[in-house]
Structure formats: C-alpha cells, structure tokens
Chain A
Amino acid sequence: MRHHLILRVVTKLLVGCIILFAFYVQFHGDFSPGGGFQAGVIMAVAFILYGIVFGLRKVQAVFPPWVVHKMVALGVLIYAGTGVVSLFLGYGFLDYGAFAPHHPSHGQHYGILAVEFGVGVTVTGVMVAIYYAFAARPARLSDEEW
C-alpha cells in the first residue's frame, strides 16, 4: 500500500475519528442505540483499517497480540465481576440495584456502564484477535497459485 498516498493520508485522518465515535457509541449506549457490542466493533475497525493500510507489523507494534488476548479475557472478567460485586453486596447476580441501594435507577446506570465497558473491551479484543489470527497466517501459497 506504499504507493496509495490518498489511502494512507485518509486512513490517518479517519482512525482518530473512528475511535472517538467508538467511545461515543460506547458511553452513550444507555441513552440511545449503541453500547459495547457496536462500540467494540467500531473500535476494532479502526485497528483493522490501520492494519490493512500500513501492514500487520505496524499495527501490532501499537496493539501487540498478547494485549489483545488479555483484553478478550479482561472484558469478560469485568462483566462477570460486576455481577460478582452485586452478589457480594447481598443482591442477585447482575442486580444493578446493588450499586445505589436508594436510587435503583442510578444503580442501573452504573451497572450498565460497567457491564457495557466489559462487553466493549472483549468485542474489541475478539474482533482484532480474529483479524490477527487470519492475517498473521503465513501464506503457504503464492498469490498466483490460488
């Protein structure tokens, strides 16, 4: 992609915007359509786009595979951990009432925010991990052979 000047410049401009948009979708998720799933995918798109244009090596320097793998697990831990916290506060699993006993609707907000953050982290991790897993595969055949 070295010769595609426009692609490279546009990508550089876009990546920041995409990540910003991902955060918007992430944290606006409890008011409007959005949330961890969508935000995670959008976030991953930023990295995948960068990887496609600048090469796998460059994107893995920014976002190493081991970090991706830990993220996959970390997000699930955040999600389940939220439930475990509510469980230890004497409420049911994922009963968000636990986080603000006198303001159940506030508790809902806190709970959803934490859970969606976990979802976002995992989805980002999974999407990038899938991309890495397929893209990092050494091609055993040359392009012509396909």
Chain B
Amino acid sequence: MGDSATFEFVVGHANYWLFSVLMMTGLYVVVARGNLVKKIVGLNMFQTSVFMLYISMGRVDGGTAPIFPVDMEIDPAVIYSNPLPHVLILTAIVVGIATTALGLSLIIRIREEFGTIEEDDILVAERILAAEDDKAHGEAMGGRT
C-alpha cells in the first residue's frame, strides 16, 4: 500500500476509528471503574459510540437533510441522506435514557441501603452478609465472588 492509499484508508474510515475508540473506551470504563456512577457514564459512552456508527452510516455523499418541501414538489436532482438510521437511533437514544435513569435510581437505592457506591465496599458488605448467611444456615455458600 502506498502512502496515499494508507492515508485514504485511515481518513476514509474515520467514523469507524472513532466508533471503535469510543466503544472500547466506554467498555473499559464500565469494566475498570469501581464507582457505580462512573460505570453508568461508561455505559453511556459505549451506547453513544453505537449511535455515532448508525448516524455516520446514514450519510450519503452530498446529501441534504431528508425533509421534503411543504408543497411536496420534490426535485429529483436533490440527494437526500438516509433517514432510517436516524429514526432507529432516536429509539435507541430513548432506550439509553431509560437505562440511565433506571441505573441512577438503582444507585440511589444502593447508596441508601449500603451507604456507599464504590463497588469494592459493596463487595465487602455483600461478603459479610454472605458470611452471616453461611454462619446462620451452615455449610458452604457460594456468595458473590
């Protein structure tokens, strides 16, 4: 591959690079951060990367916003972008908002019950609970590992 071809390849796939980086960053944050709120933030980044993927997919070279004029006299020469991915992503965004709201409300409840939103502390608290169960009900008890 020549230099220009490599350049073409890198720039021509810019949206995919962005998608991959954002997706991996989000996923990493979900896995690596112990703070429950940060996990939700990571999850949001992860979802947003998918939104970007879809939106960039809907772009047509030289296309304009896919809105027909009010008088419905459509000029066949005008190229419109593909509106379908946008519509799909509108739905996915709503799902994402619902997930975030639910996640945050769960965090509030966890904070009230456990007194912390750090995963490590919660694991300790749960391990103590599991040990208590174990003591009260005998024998090995799997618990959360």
Contacts and interface: CB of A to CB of B under 8 A. Distances in A.
Given A37-B90, A37-B94, A130-B101, A137 B70 contact: no
A31 B72 CA distance: 10
- Chain B binding surface SS class: helix
Interface string A49-81: 000000000000000000000000000000000
A31 B70 CA distance: 6
B64 interface: no
Contact of B112 (A37, A130, A140): A140
Contacts of A134: 104-105, 108
A90 interface: no
A84 to B, nearest CB: 22
Interface string B44-88: 000000000000000000000101001000000000000000000
Contacts of A37: 90, 94
A130 B102 CA distance: 9
Contact of A137 (B65, B90, B101, B108): B108
Interface string A104-146: 0000000000000000000000000010011001001000000
Would you call the interface of chain A mostly helix, strand, loop, or mixed? loop
Contacts of A133: 105
Contacts of B67: 32-33
Nearest to B94: A37
Nearest to A37: B90
B26 to A, nearest CB: 22
Contacts of B101: 130
A133 B65 CA distance: 37
Interface string B100-111: 010011001000
B103 to A, nearest CB: 12
A140 B112 CA distance: 8
A137 B111 CA distance: 12
14 contacts: A31-B70, A32-B67, A32-B70, A33-B65, A33-B67, A37-B90, A37-B94, A130-B101, A133-B105, A134-B104, A134-B105, A134-B108, A137-B108, A140-B112
Interface of A: 31-33, 37, 130, 133-134, 137, 140
9 A-B pairs closest in CB distance? A130-B101, A31-B70, A137-B108, A133-B105, A33-B67, A140-B112, A32-B67, A37-B90, A134-B104
Given A31-B70, A32-B70, A33-B67, 11 more contacts: A32-B67, A33-B65, A37-B90, A37-B94, A130-B101, A133-B105, A134-B104, A134-B105, A134-B108, A137-B108, A140-B112
